[in-house]
Amino acid sequence: MIMALIVLMVPWAAAGAESADPVSGTQLFSLGGFGTLGIVHSSEHLADFTSSVFQPGGAGYSENWSAAVDSLIGAQLTVNINPKLSAVVQIIAQQNPDNTYTPHVEWANVKYLLTPDFSIRAGRIVMPTFLVSDSINVGYTAPWVRPPPGVYQLLPIDNSDGVDFSYRLHIGALTDTLEGHYGQNNADLPYNRGSAAARNIWGFSDTAEYGPLTVHLAYQEMHLTIPSFNALFNAFRLFGPRGIAIADEYDLDNKPFVTEAIGASYEPGQYFVMAEWARANTNSIFAVGTAWYVSSGYRLGKFTPYLTYTEVKSDRNSDPGLALAALPPSRAGFAAGLNAGLNSTLEVNPDQSTVSVGSRWDFMKNVDLKLQMDHSRNGPGSSGGLADLQPGFRPGGVVNLLSATVDFVF
């Protein structure tokens, strides 16, 4: 379906290149691009800092200074087929789970206006979970190097293949937009861990805008399956009622995954204040995660220094697992290995507080330079969401990041 959309859009784009609509004067197509060139250093050398759970490596263990964490380039083509019907394709090249940089289709959908304020879309669509979900890959639109990962990694899937609707209501100076969506998502995982399948994704969001104030809330459900965990939990089930209970609690076989989020931003001009809170109940080994941040910055000519505080907590970072004392020696060793495998995954669930200090410099038209320092303190028993943990890594402790990016749009 997605490739068919791209093929259909090319002739319209070619026609639009010649002239605008002679009746309405509307531009028939528009093509734009965006990108980020970044580099980041981590003080933790026995694990990787990544900006997404889908990245196979990052700063720390894999690379002392990593350009893969934040760097990407993308293009977006919009085609206005007629006053009511339009289509969009967004393609992005960034580090993929298999450590290649093959471009992938991030968005590809057709939109139909039933009225000027009521529309429906079909295809690959961004899910409106957070304040900046629509522009999460366009670093130039954000004040920071990257959105606070404590909140935004609670739901790392940001698009779905399906349908949605949007209805906009105007009440004086207030504009309120209600959105609903339904679809599915398939995503490859790094480190040869197979894929993740999200089915029956549905949810809604509401965004109220009043002058410089924006308030956003969202609710979303899906059923998540990650087959690579089957071997671990099938082995637990061999140990009777206790093993079965552990497997039923933590496995990832069509488990309901519920996300709730609320956020607000206030940008009167000279300064900005933003805050978001989110909760993700995975009903699985990924536990229940709650996160929030508050961020503020002040514009001084071309410079915008900013400060952000983020907290993310998980309700589970360890489990006693199977009782080894009651097992015969021939089975106790195997059970101990299962317990270790369970806890090594629970340990990755983030429990962390972070202070971020940075500045944005708009030194050219449509180009900015950002520098950011992050000081993170991991909770006891938690790796703070770091990836690819190596032998000798100790949960808890402090991690410092130094990041620099150049963002651009064209």
- Domain coordinates of the chain in residue numbers? 2-409
Task: Determine the average pLDDT of the residues in 190-217.
Answer: 96
pLDDT digits (tens, 9 = 90+) for 162-181: 999 999 999 999 999 999 99
H/E element holding 298? Answer: strand 288-298
CA distance 400 to 254: 37
- pTM (whole model) above 0.85: yes
Q: Check: CB of residue 187 under 8 Å from CB of residue 203.
A: no
Q: Is the pLDDT score of 373 beyond 60? A: yes
Task: Determine the average pLDDT of the residues in 74-86.
Answer: 96
Q: Is the pLDDT score of 18 beyond 50? A: no
Q: Is the pLDDT score of 8 beyond 80? A: no
Compute CA distances 206 → 47, 80, 92, 115, 261, whole Å: 38, 26, 27, 19, 11
pLDDT digits (tens, 9 = 90+) for 240-277: 999 999 999 999 999 999 999 999 999 999 999 999 99
pLDDT value at residue 326? 87
Residue type, 48: D
Q: Check: CB of residue 363 under 8 Å from CB of residue 302.
A: yes
Beta pairing partners, 260: 219, 279
pLDDT value at residue 21? 56
Q: 3-class SS at 203?
A: strand
pLDDT digits (tens, 9 = 90+) for 28-53: 889 999 999 999 999 999 999 999 99
Cα atoms in the 13 Å half-sphere on the side-chain side of 361 = 8
Question: Radius of gyration (Cα) for the chain, nearest Å?
Answer: 23
| Banded pLDDT at 345 (limits 50, 70, 90) | very high
Q: Is the pLDDT score of 366 beyond 70? A: yes
| Banded pLDDT at 70 (limits 50, 70, 90) | very high
pLDDT value at residue 24? 53
pLDDT value at residue 100? 95
Q: Residues 80, 86, 89, CA angle at the centre, nearest 5°? A: 100
What CATH architecture does domain 2-409 belong to?
Beta Barrel (2.40)
Burial (0-12, 13-18, 19+ Cβ within 10 Å), 231 = exposed
pLDDT value at residue 25? 57
Q: What is the DSSP letter of 13?
A: H
Of residues 340, 347, 344, 355, the one with CA closest to residue 379? 347
Q: Is the pLDDT score of 13 beyond 50? A: no
Q: Is the pLDDT score of 196 beyond 50? A: yes
pLDDT value at residue 142? 96
Q: Check: CB of residue 348 under 8 Å from CB of residue 287.
A: no
Q: Is the pLDDT score of 10 beyond 60? A: no
Task: Determine the average pLDDT of the residues in 289-312.
Answer: 98
Burial (0-12, 13-18, 19+ Cβ within 10 Å), 93 = middle
